[in-house]
Amino acid sequence: MEGALTARDKVGVQDFVLLDAYTSESAFVDNLRKRFSENLIYTYIGTLLVSMNPYQELGIYTMSQMELYQGVNFFELPPHVYAIADNAYRMMCSELNNHFILISGESGAGKTEASKKILQYFAVTCPMTESLQIARDRLLLSNPVLEAFGNAKTPRNDNSSRFGKYMDIQFDFQGIPVGGHIIGYLIEKSRVVYQNQGERNFHIFYQLLAGGEAERLAYLGLERDPQLYKYLSQGHCAKESSLNDKNDWKTVSNAFSVIDFTEADLENLFGIIASVLHLGNVCFQEDDQGCAAVPDTHEIKWIAKLLGIYPSVLLEALTHRKIEAKTEEVICPLTLELSVYARDAMAKAIYGRTFTWLVNKINSSLVNKDFTKKTVIGLLDIYGFEVFDKNGYLFVLLKDEECIRPGPATDLSFLEKLEEKVGKHAHFQTRKLAGPKGRKRIGWMEFRLFHYAGEVTYCTKGFLEKNNDLLYRHLKEVLCCCKNGILRECFLVAELESRKRPPTVGTQFKNSLSSLLEILISKEPSYIRCIKPNERKEPSKFDDFLVRHQIKYLGLMEHLRVRRAGFAYRRKYEHFLQRYKSLCPDTWPHWHGPPGEGVERLIKYIGYKPEEYKLGKTKIFIRFPRTLFATEDAFEFSKHQLVARIQATYKGCLGRREYVKRKEAATKLEAHWRGVLARKEVKRRKWAIQIIRRFVNGFINRNKPLSPDDEEFLVLVRKNYILNLRYHVPKNVLDKSWLRPPSILETASDLLRKMCTRNLVRKYCHGVSAEWKAMMQQKAITSEIFRGKKEGYAESLNQPFVNTRIDEGDINPKVFQLMSNEKIQYGVPVIKYDRKGFKARQRQLILTQKAAYVVELAKIKQKIEYSALKGVSTSSLNDGILVIHVSPENNKQKGDAILLCEHVFEVVTKLAMLVKKENLVNVVQGSLQFYISPGKEGTIVFDTGPEEQIYRDKNGQLTVVSGWLGDR
Ligand SMILES: Nc1ncnc2c1ncn2[C@@H]1O[C@H](COP(=O)(O)OP(=O)(O)OP(=O)(O)O)[C@@H](O)[C@H]1O
**pLDDT single digits (tens) 232-277:** 999 888 777 677 999 999 999 999 988 889 999 999 999 999 999 9
Out of 886, 905, 923, a domain closes at 923
d(CA 384, CA 391): 13
Query: Is residue 482 within 8 Å of residue 309, measured between CB atoms?
Result: yes
Which residues are 151's β-sheet partners? 161
Torsion of CA 641, 644, 647, 653, to 10 degrees: -90
Same domain flag for 917 and 891: yes
Measuring CA to CA, which residue among 123, 128, 69, 132 is closest to residue 377? 123
Residue 895 has a pLDDT of 65
Same domain flag for 874 and 836: yes
Position with higher pLDDT, 700 vs 120: 120
DSSP helix, strand, coil percent of the chain (3-state; round to 5): 50, 15, 35
Query: How confident is the model over 743-757, as pLDDT tens digits?
Result: 888 899 999 999 999
Same domain flag for 661 and 722: no
Is the pTM for the entire model greater than 0.80?
no
Share of the chain above pLDDT 90, in %: 39
Same domain flag for 784 and 908: yes
d(CA 685, CA 679): 10
d(CA 561, CA 552): 13
- Confirm whether 866 is domain-assigned: yes
Residue 388 — pLDDT band, cuts 50, 70, 90? very low
Radius of gyration in angstroms for the set of CA atoms belonging to the chain, rounded to a whole number: 71
Position with higher pLDDT, 862 vs 258: 258
Specify the length of the chain in residues. 968
- Confirm whether 880 is domain-assigned: yes
Q: How far is the CA of 156 from the centre of ligand 1 (A)?
A: 10
Give yes or no for residue 159 CB within 6 A of ligand 1: yes
Give yes or no for residue 107 CB within 6 A of ligand 1: yes
Give yes or no for residue 190 CB within 6 A of ligand 1: no
Position with higher pLDDT, 567 vs 309: 309
Give yes or no for residue 12 CB within 6 A of ligand 1: no
Residue 967 has a pLDDT of 41
Same domain flag for 761 and 879: no
Long-range contacts of 397-402 (CB under 8 A, 24+ apart): 397/506, 397/510, 398/422, 399/463, 399/464, 399/467, 399/504, 399/506, 400/467, 400/504, 400/506, 400/507, 402/464
| pLDDT for residue 661 is more than 90 | yes
Measuring CA to CA, which residue among 535, 531, 570 is closest to residue 551? 531
Same domain flag for 448 and 434: yes
Closest ligand 1 atom to 158 CA: 29
Give yes or no for residue 53 CB within 6 A of ligand 1: yes
- Confirm whether 715 is domain-assigned: yes
Query: Is residue 658 within 8 Å of residue 665, measured between CB atoms?
Result: no
- Confirm whether 520 is domain-assigned: no
Residue 954 — pLDDT band, cuts 50, 70, 90? confident
d(CA 152, CA 204): 9
Residue 452 has a pLDDT of 58
d(CA 751, CA 735): 17
Spatial CB neighbours of 269, under 8 Å, sequence gap ≥ 6:
261, 354, 358, 486
Q: At what angle do helices 336-366 and 133-150 cross, to 10 degrees?
A: 170
| pLDDT for residue 848 is more than 80 | no
User: 409-443 as b/e, with b when 16 or more CB fall inside 10 Å?
Assistant: bebeebbbbbbeeeeeeeebbbbebeeeeeeeebe
Same domain flag for 782 and 914: yes
In terms of DSSP bridges, do strands 524-531 and 921-924 run parallel, antiparallel, or are they unpaired?
unpaired
Closest ligand 1 atom to 105 CA: 21
Probe ligand 1: pick from 35, 60, 104, 112, max atoms within 8 Å of CB? 112
- Confirm whether 507 is domain-assigned: no
Among 10-24, 273-287, 638-652, whose mean pLDDT is lowest? 10-24
**What angle (nearest 5°) sits at the alpha carbon of residue 960, between those of residues 959 and 965?**
145
Out of 433, 459, 485, a domain closes at 459
Q: Give the residue, by CA position, lying nearest to ligand 1 atom 8.
A: 110
Q: What type of residue sits at position 768?
A: V
Position with higher pLDDT, 430 vs 251: 251
- Confirm whether 165 is domain-assigned: no
Measuring CA to CA, which residue among 318, 273, 288 is closest to residue 300? 318
Measuring CA to CA, which residue among 141, 123, 118, 113 is closest to residue 56? 113
- Confirm whether 517 is domain-assigned: no
Residue 625 has a pLDDT of 67
Position with higher pLDDT, 538 vs 468: 538
Same domain flag for 635 and 734: no
Measuring CA to CA, which residue among 279, 293, 283, 300 is closest to residue 334? 293
Out of 429, 444, 459, a domain closes at 459
Q: How far is the CA of 54 from the centre of ligand 1 (A)?
A: 9
- Confirm whether 170 is domain-assigned: no
The answer to the question of whether 108 is labelled as a binding residue is: yes
Query: Is residue 167 within 8 Å of residue 115, measured between CB atoms?
Result: yes
Same domain flag for 882 and 809: yes
Measuring CA to CA, which residue among 100, 119, 210, 205 is closest to residue 162? 205
Same domain flag for 755 and 775: no
Query: How confident is the model over 489-527, as pLDDT tens digits?
Result: 998 888 777 666 666 666 777 777 788 888 888 898 999
Query: Is residue 150 within 8 Å of residue 202, measured between CB atoms?
Result: yes
| Residue range(s) defining the domain that contains residue 735 | 710-766
Query: How confident is the model over 551-569, as pLDDT tens digits?
Result: 988 889 988 887 777 676 7
Q: How far is the CA of 385 from the centre of ligand 1 (A)?
A: 14
Per-residue pLDDT, averaged over 29-52, amounts to 93
What domain count does the chain have?
Answer: 4
The answer to the question of whether 112 is labelled as a binding residue is: yes
Residue 461 has a pLDDT of 65
Torsion of CA 130, 135, 139, 144, to 10 degrees: 90
Residue 864 has a pLDDT of 46
d(CA 241, CA 243): 5
Instruction: Kindly report the CATH number assigned to the domain that includes residue 906.
Output: 2.30.29.30
d(CA 182, CA 166): 6
d(CA 813, CA 900): 8
Same domain flag for 780 and 759: no
DSSP H or E run through 602: helix 595-606
Query: Is residue 300 within 8 Å of residue 311, measured between CB atoms?
Result: yes
Residue 809 — pLDDT band, cuts 50, 70, 90? very low
d(CA 928, CA 899): 13
d(CA 316, CA 331): 10
Q: Specify the DSSP class assigned to residue 742.
A: P
Residue 855 has a pLDDT of 36
**3-state DSSP assignment of residue 513:** helix
How deeply is 789 buried, as exposed, middle or buried, from its count of CB atoms within 10 A (0-12, 13-18, 19+)?
Answer: middle
| pLDDT for residue 632 is more than 70 | yes
Position with higher pLDDT, 917 vs 809: 917
Give yes or no for residue 847 CB within 6 A of ligand 1: no
Measuring CA to CA, which residue among 86, 134, 81 is closest to residue 377? 86
Same domain flag for 857 and 878: yes
**What angle (nearest 5°) sits at the alpha carbon of residue 82, between those of residues 80 and 85?**
125
